[in-house]
């Protein structure tokens, strides 16, 4: 397996963005980190070069010894026939109760990671970056109901995202089952 920081390239470009007053969305106010930790499947995204062509994309969050969060993003490149992986770290911008973090895949460069909606059961989440060109729908499962997807579209559009550019992420069962051993 080849480890490539495909998600981190965008972070390098976006290092000057992410000031709290300039956020594209309001972070979740009663965020619960322990419930957010674990594996999430990417359901939809605004596509960027660092994810282009990737399927079966997941993000896994776990605690670091320094109090931060370990971030492992994985996706399968159909064109290259290989897994791509990026390992980074995240820290809360203010408080653990506010869903606004700074994430880095290339130290010392950080960018905003904003959880602006999470359902009460922590089964799906809506996430933005430092501006309106970064948007993700994450789920604990590789699919979501039409109601969840419609809710995501409505909220994102209301907040100024161009939902016409959203890309739904394919999750092939044969790939998804082997995510732990790329």
Q: What is the C-alpha to C-alpha distance for residues 153 and 142, in angstroms, rounded to an integer?
A: 18
How many whole angstroms separate alpha carbon 151 and alpha carbon 126? 10
Residue 135 within any structural domain of the chain: yes
In a domain, 177, yes or no: no
Q: Is 1 within a domain?
A: no
CATH (domain of 153):
2.40.128.20
Is residue 114 within 8 A of residue 128, CB to CB? The reply is yes
182 assigned to some structural domain: no
Q: Is residue 178 situated within a structural domain?
A: no
Place of tokens 């092939």: 172
Q: Which three-class secondary structure state does DSSP give residue 182?
A: coil
- Closest to 36 in 3D by CA, of 20, 59, 18, 57: 59
Domain for residue 61, yes or no? yes
User: Is position 98 within any domain?
Assistant: yes
Which residues constitute the domain of residue 148? 8-169
> Which residues, in sequence order, are CB contacts of 142 under 8 Å at separation 6+?
41, 43, 56, 171, 176
Per-residue pLDDT tens digits of the chain, which is 182 residues long: 444 444 444 333 343 343 444 788 999 999 999 999 999 999 999 998 778 889 999 999 999 999 999 999 999 998 999 999 999 999 999 999 999 999 998 888 899 999 999 999 999 999 999 999 999 999 999 999 999 999 999 999 999 999 999 999 999 876 544 544 44
Structural domains counted in the chain: 1
The whole-model pTM stands at 0.84
C-beta separation of 82 from 3 below 8 A:
no
In-domain check, residue 180? no
């Amino acid at each position: 397996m080849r480890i490539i920081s495909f998600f981190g390239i965008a972070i390098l470009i976006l290092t000057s963005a992410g000031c709290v007053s300039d956020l594209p969305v309001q972070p979740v106010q009663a965020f619960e980190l322990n419930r957010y930790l674990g594996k999430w499947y990417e359901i939809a995204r605004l596509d960027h070069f660092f994810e282009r062509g990737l399927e079966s994309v997941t993000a896994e969050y776990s605690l670091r010894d320094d109090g931060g969060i370990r971030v492992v993003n994985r996706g399968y490149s159909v064109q290259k026939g290989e897994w791509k992986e990026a390992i980074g770290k995240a820290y809360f911008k203010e408080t653990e109760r506010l869903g606004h973090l700074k994430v880095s895949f290339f130290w010392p460069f950080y960018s905003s990671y904003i959880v602006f909606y999470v359902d009460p059961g922590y089964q799906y989440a809506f996430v933005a970056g430092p501006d309106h060109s970064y948007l993700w729908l994450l789920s604990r499962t590789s699919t979501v109901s039409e109601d969840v997807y419609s809710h995501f579209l409505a909220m994102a559009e209301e907040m100024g995202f161009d939902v016409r550019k959203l890309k739904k992420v394919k999750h092939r069962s044969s790939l998804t089952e082997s995510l732990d051993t790329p």
